[in-house]
Amino acid sequence: EPLQIIACAGSGKTQVISQRIASILSLPGVKPRTIVAFTFTEKAAAELQDRIYSILRQEGVDRPWLAAMSVGTMHG
């Protein structure tokens, strides 16, 4: 189901979203191309993607097809 999170700066949005996406991607049968995550800046989008990959690596999930996941800016 779609999820929208709106919160102020420094409230932990990136951590919450990266954990949630990593958890979803860890499930069998989930395709990264079904994941779309938007944020306001390129820096924030890169940080979000890095955190997702880092969490998955720590959990031993190695999925080379993660590039199909869409993480970007609302402006792009």
What 3-state class would DSSP assign to 36?
A: strand
Please give the Cα distance from 38 to 57 (Å, whole number): 22
**Tokens encoding 74:** 């609302």
Mean pLDDT of the chain: 83
**Tokens encoding 17:** 């979203």
Q: What is the pTM of this model?
A: 0.76
pLDDT in tens, 13-47: 888 889 998 998 888 888 888 888 888 888 888 99
